[in-house]
Structure 1
Amino acid sequence: MISAPPVSAPAVEATVVPPLEGGHTLDFRPARAAGTLSDGVEDDGGDHDGATISLAQARALRGAASGDDPVFASIPAVPATETPVTTPRIRVSTGQVVELDRIVVIGRRPRSTRSSGATLPHLVAVDSPQQDISRSHLEIRPESDAVVVVDLHTTNGSTLLRSGSDPVRLHPGEPTIVVTGDVIDLGDGVTVAFEDLP
């Protein structure tokens, strides 16, 4: 007895598209009866992983993403909402800007008490024609949720200028918390402004 050759599903070129946010996938296949392919042939389940789509569907997705697809062209794009990352920093009146990613020592010829290590401080040298500023004058120390300044036992001192408050002379060796907008006057016309603090 001669039997008809087995009917096989037409070959479909397919590609895989990564899942959307939340792990959802898009399925653009036409509706069909459960367990059958579009031409009425039984569906044996195959190796379909739920994320495989046809080449035509992939092209439609690509066109939608690029704005070339007329169906999706009328849908306004949603702008990405990125929170700008701000890094705490100081702005010295001499023009220097230093990120507060570690301790900063400012002075005429600042020196670090550390001689080695991965966290050596930033050393910021400033001019002081009248010698009002000490060699190592001010230490700025970022901490987990605040920034503190310490006058390093200077002869002429350091003054905290805060909007809406009277100037305050820093106590030598005593940490003082600063906030965004504060300015420290070192003397000789040199100031340090604090920006984007936590």
Structure 2
Amino acid sequence: MAVPSPTPRSEKDALRRAVRKARMAHVSSLGIETRHALEEQLAEHLSAIVAGATIVAAYVPIGTEISPAPLLARARRLGKTIAYPAFDHGSDTFRFRAGDPVMPGPHRIQQPGPDAPEVIPDLVLVPLIACGPDGTRLGQGKGHYDRALAGLERGRARFVGLGWKVQRIDDAIPADEWDVALDGFACPRFLEWFGEADDA
């Protein structure tokens, strides 16, 4: 009896489980001071990129996601506008709104209030489960970031995935037609650009 080939969805689900487990093990092995020091190293790698941006879109980390907080502190000192994903009531696509995340959104993640101005970022710091060798991003599987990034003009906005080193995997990630690839990936150990993107 022939065994059916795995579908891209089942491959992605299996990969999510494996990388989540690896990420949890990695973060569990870190003391709080070490974790904060590594997040400062992440900020160091991206400080020049943030300096060249005007509006930086970030995220509120959940669970074992790496925090962009030290990087955002640098951005604020430079006078950059900081934005976060914000869902309007009943919408499944978020907008980037400038301001502090002060209220829970529909997915129980803090976001700016509805009166915060909508902005168009030129640098988007993207959370992820995994990043492949060509910049393909594996997210939570809901498609929220793919829909939001698809609405931005590539070339005018850079998409940089943030994660721990264990999240940058060597195997290719199956890509669906709606998946939006990253321009770069940053972790505490390095900053990597894909395709023709560079750190200029």
Please indicate, yes or no, whether the TM-score normalized by the shorter chain is above 0.5.
no
Q: With a CA cutoff of 8 Å and minimum separation of 6, indicate the structure with the bigger relative contact order.
A: 2
Structure with higher strand content: 1
TM-score bucket of the superposed structures, by smaller chain: under 0.3
Greater percentage in helix: 2
Larger radius of gyration: 1
Give the TM-score taking structure 1 as reference length: 0.27
TM-score normalised by the chain length of structure 2: 0.27
